[in-house]
């Protein structure tokens, strides 16, 4: 399992790195050609798609993930995959018609202006294509076609970058250019993804009502959980829009985009770990392997958090213009929020035992906590209050996933060294905030921090294995 994880995590990290990297690459372009209000419109359309992608397909891809490994016959696997695809297509097509017909009214309601009605129509088409691309990419993942899933992700990211730059910078189409870029890129990547599915379990014109019912029985409870996760992730932007306006949504969205840097690590671990857990959870060595992978995760993510705490202001100034500079004070808070929000991947007990109703309870509690604090803190602290509220909700979610998940599927975590690692991180951050250092000194301190984590979290056997590999590399170079 460990070897498969390392191979797949690297495979998934490449498109994640490209996706996040292109997102950051596009940020200085968007913030120079789009106003905070226009960027806020894109942010709201993005999170509108996120909720529709939960409500319309009823989380059916999650059902495919769970049922596909248990299906013995290839025709049943084809029925599951194809039914999920066409169910999503039908649902989003109906919603697109509604948005198209009432685009002016929706524009006024969402953005306080009728001028974005064309953008809503383009967005409705883009949502259909990107929802289906999401289904196909996940299908490749559930089939353990990591390279193929990564490949279509890379293609999509590259296309979005080049097409959007041309439409926004050269043709100066603004918000419309961004949305058209997503539409065209999604269509091309979708075609490639469907073609690649024929290497294992092809997506065809099959549609089986019995399989739809079976999948929805599993996935429907997850919709409530998904809504709760959505609220915990995105309610801050909707409430910022309600209390402060679209401009502040744009500034907050920029901060969130930069804060997604740790999301690269989370994404790679999540994409590689989830399928392997479902395929290997019954093996005796799996719990200890998950514990070891969590230590690997800490060795990577904690230095990333340390670097962001030091250079958040520099990142924002490098990537944006003056009208977005206030986003810098939010970045570190949102980084920690994103890490906690995705910690559930290391507490898989509830998913393994199919306790989807318990998962829903956790997510509903966390999202309710988030909403309450947002309503209290945004009027008092502005967008910083939203970031703090998101952090509180994310911590609540992680704690509950750990508490109930570890009861159902015990994982032997090394609590002593984990806590000590967090104390060391907090000490370094406090130290850097009290005293001033030049860049060379900061780099040296970061290297020291990484070394401390390495000796603290890796076992003697793992250290020996790493040193042996490094020795072989040195010998080969000589």
Per-residue model confidence (pLDDT) at position 103: 93
Position 71 scores a pLDDT of 82
Same domain, 438 and 404: no
DSSP per-residue letters across 258-289: HHTHHHHHHHHHHHHHHHHHHHHTTSTTHHHH
Report pLDDT for 157.
87
Among 413, 438, 453, the domain boundary falls at 413
* pLDDT of res. 433: 83
CA 450 to CA 307: how far, in whole Å?
A: 11
Residue 29 placed within a domain? yes
User: 372 and 239, same structural domain?
Assistant: yes
Domain identity same for 192 and 305: yes
Residue 173 is part of which domain span? 2-413
Asked whether residue 169 falls in the same domain as residue 217, the answer is yes
pLDDT at 142: 84
Let me know whether 445 and 401 are in one domain: no
Instruction: Point out the domain boundary residue: 380, 413, 446.
Output: 413
**What is the domain count for the chain?**
2
Q: pLDDT value at position 475?
A: 52
The reply to whether 329 falls in a domain is yes
Phi first, then psi, for residue 384 (nearest 5°) are -65, -35
pTM of the model: 0.77
Q: What's the rounded Cα separation, in Å, for the pair 280 and 110?
A: 45
The answer to whether position 149 is within a domain reads: yes
Instruction: Clarify whether residues 251 and 120 are in a common domain.
Output: yes
285-304 per-position pLDDT tens digit: 888 888 888 888 898 899 99
- Is 79 within a domain? yes
Do 351 and 432 belong to one domain?
no
Both 231 and 348 in one domain: the answer is yes
User: Is the residue at 418 inside a domain?
Assistant: no
Same domain, 312 and 357: yes
Same domain? For 384 and 466 the reply is no
Q: How far apart are CA 18 and CA 106, in angstroms?
A: 33
In which residue ranges of the chain is pLDDT below 50? 473
Residue 235 in domain: yes
Structure tokens at 364: 């509903």
Task: Give the per-residue pLDDT at 355.
Answer: 81
Instruction: Output the six-digit token pair for 141.
Output: 């993942």
Question: pLDDT for 161-202, tens place per residue?
Answer: 899 999 999 999 999 999 999 999 999 999 999 999 888 888
Which residue has tokens 């949102």? 334
Rg (alpha carbons) of the chain, rounded to whole number: 23
Q: How many Å apart are CA 124 and CA 417, to the nearest integer?
A: 49
In angstroms, the CA 206 to CA 17 distance is 35
Residue 59 lies in a domain: yes
Q: Which residue, 413, 446, 469, sits at the end of a domain?
A: 413
Same domain, 331 and 466: no
Instruction: Give yes or no: residues 469 and 323 share one domain.
Output: no
Residue 308 resides in a domain: yes
Residue 414 Ramachandran class (φ > 0 left, ψ -120 to 50 alpha, else beta): beta
What tokens does 388 get?
A: 């703090």
Helix (H) or strand (E) holding 179: helix 175-197
């Amino acid at each position: 399992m460990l070897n498969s994880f390392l191979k797949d995590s690297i495979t998934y990290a490449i498109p994640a790195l490209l996706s996040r990297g292109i997102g950051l690459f596009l940020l200085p372009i968007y913030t120079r050609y789009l106003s905070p209000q226009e960027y806020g419109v894109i942010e709201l359309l993005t999170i509108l798609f996120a909720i529709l992608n939960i409500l319309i397909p009823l989380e059916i891809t999650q059902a495919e993930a769970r049922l596909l490994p248990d299906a013995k016959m290839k025709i049943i696997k084809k029925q599951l995959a194809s039914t999920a695809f066409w169910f999503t297509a039908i649902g989003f097509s109906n919603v697109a018609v509604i948005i198209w017909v009432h685009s002016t009214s929706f524009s006024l309601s969402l953005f306080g202006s009728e001028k974005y009605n064309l953008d809503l129509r383009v967005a409705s088409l883009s949502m259909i294509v990107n929802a289906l691309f999401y289904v196909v990419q996940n299908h490749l993942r559930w089939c353990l076609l990591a390279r193929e899933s990564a490949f279509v992700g890379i293609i999509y990211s590259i296309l979005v970058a080049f097409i959007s730059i041309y439409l926004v910078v050269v043709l100066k189409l603004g918000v419309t250019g961004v949305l058209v870029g997503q539409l065209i890129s999604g269509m091309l990547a979708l075609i490639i993804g469907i073609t690649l599915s024929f290497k294992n379990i092809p997506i065809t014109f099959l549609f089986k009502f019995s399989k739809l019912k079976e999948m929805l029985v599993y996935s429907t409870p997850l919709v409530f959980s998904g809504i709760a996760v959505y609220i915990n992730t995105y309610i801050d932007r909707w409430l910022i829009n309600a209390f402060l306006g679209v401009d502040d949504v744009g500034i907050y969205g920029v901060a969130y985009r930069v804060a997604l840097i740790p999301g690269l690590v989370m994404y790679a671990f999540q994409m590689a770990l989830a399928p392997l857990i479902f395929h290997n959870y019954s093996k005796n060595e799996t719990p200890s392997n998950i514990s070891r992978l969590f230590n690997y995760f800490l060795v990577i993510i904690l230095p990333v958090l340390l670097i962001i705490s030091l250079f958040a202001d520099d990142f924002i100034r490098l990537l944006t213009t003056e009208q977005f500079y206030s986003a810098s004070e939010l970045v570190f808070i949102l980084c920690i929020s994103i890490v906690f929000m995705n910690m559930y991947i290391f507490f898989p007990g509830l998913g393994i035992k199919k306790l989807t109703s318990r998962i829903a309870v956790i997510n509903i509690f966390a999202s309710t906590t988030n909403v309450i604090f947002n309503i209290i803190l945004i009027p008092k602290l502005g967008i910083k209050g939203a970031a703090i509220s998101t952090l509180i909700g994310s911590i609540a979610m992680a704690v509950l996933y750990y508490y109930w998940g570890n009861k159902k599927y015990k994982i032997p975590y090394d609590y002593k060294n984990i806590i000590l690692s967090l104390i060391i991180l907090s000490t370094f951050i406090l130290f850097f905030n009290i005293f001033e250092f030049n860049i060379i000194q900061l780099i040296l301190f970061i290297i020291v921090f990484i070394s401390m984590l390495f000796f603290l979290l890796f076992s003697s056997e793992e250290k020996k294995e790493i040193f042996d590999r490094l020795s072989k590399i040195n010998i080969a170079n000589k």
